Amino acid sequence: MNETVPDSTITCPRCGHRQRELMPTEACQFFYDCKSCGALLRPKPGDCCVFCSYGDVKCPPIQAGECGC
């Protein structure tokens, strides 16, 4: 049984700020506010959440192969 990685570093595409964040384990996170420039991040087309689009680790539902987004 594989364990999921609980956190991911999000990189803001607007200002390049990197922030380590704990990811929700049971759901995908659709919005994220950049801690530096305040940009509201949304997933890229085809991605289920901001961690899949801008994080260095995909969200826990994707890691577990259970994303129904």
Q: Is residue 2 part of a domain?
A: no
Count of domains forming the chain: 1
Domain assignment of residue 28, given as a range: 7-63
Q: Is residue 68 part of a domain?
A: no
Q: Is residue 1 part of a domain?
A: no
Tell me the whole-structure pTM to 2 decimals: 0.88
Largest CA distance in the chain: 39
pLDDT 10s digits, 15-67: 999 999 999 988 889 999 999 999 999 999 999 999 999 999 999 988 888 77
Q: Is residue 69 part of a domain?
A: no
Residues 6+ apart with CB under 8 A from 3: none
Q: Is residue 35 part of a domain?
A: yes
Q: 55: how many CB neighbours lie within 10 A of its CB?
A: 23
pLDDT 10s digits, 38-49: 999 999 999 999
Q: Is residue 38 part of a domain?
A: yes
